[in-house]
Amino acid sequence: MLKDIKTDLAIVKERDPAARGLLEILLCYPGVHALAIHRLSNRIWCSRLPLIPMKLIARILSQLTRNLTGVEIHPGAKIGNGVFIDHGMGVVIGETAEIGNRCLLYQGVTLGGTGKEHGKRHPTLEENVVIGAGAKVLGAIRVGANTRIGAGSVVVRDVEADSTVVGIPGRVVHQSGVKINPLAHSALPDAEANVIRNLMERIDELENQITALQNYLQVIDSENIPHEVMPNKAQSLKDREILEFLGENNEK
């Protein structure tokens, strides 16, 4: 357990440029406090001592942690080494959630369940997953290693490794094996802006075609027909960016 806490401290110093020393991390980082107490409550939860008292003690400990840090972690959640919960306020991690080594979670992240069935109902994050502020990952889904989930996204389907996910519902907008900087949130693509830009260009082309057709009809009415009319080439509505945004590629 002490080894795990030491790894947690090291990852904060590595990933947070605001961290000035171990003492500051120990005293001022609620994510570190929440993980340290969770490791204790998880051991109590998984112990072979009488079931009901130990489960209750573990739950009470997790609730005290929630009140102290603003981070709610169910004692049954499995969390790997080197996990960093940055800022921490509003983070919720469900009972059957599993978090791999060196994952990074920002404030407001929810690893939540869907439905009321028993068993596995929360997400599994593989190693080096980064989840932006306010993002929600819901259900018994798996998020592959080295994946980035943009702030405010809602992910409800499995995500393959080395992906970038944005939007509501979350959609994969980039996938490659290129190593990424976990703090580079500004590098996330803006899928909504790309689609809106695409649709605006399409509307502009359609308006140009309507204008050309109106002019052509006027020419016909005056019985002065031109030899050739070359309207702008229409862009197909089955555009790749629109299909990706709507998620149709994954459903076919």
Average pLDDT over residues 173-196: 61
What count of other Cβ atoms lies within 10 Å of the Cβ of residue 209? 14
Residue 243: the pLDDT is 60
Residue 82 sits in a domain whose CATH number is 2.160.10.10
For 72-125, the pLDDT digits (tens) are: 999 999 998 888 898 888 999 998 999 999 999 999 999 998 877 778 899 999
For 146-162, the pLDDT digits (tens) are: 889 988 889 988 888 88
Are 23 and 96 in a shared domain?
yes
Entry pTM: 0.68
> Band of the pLDDT at 188, cuts 50, 70, 90?
low
The residues near 246 (Cβ < 8 Å, ≥ 6 apart) are: none
Domain closes at, from 187, 207, 230 = 187
Are 98 and 210 in a shared domain?
no
Are 53 and 103 in a shared domain?
yes
Are 124 and 14 in a shared domain?
yes
Which residue range is the domain that position 205 belongs to? 191-251
Omega before 231 within 30 of 0, i.e. cis: no
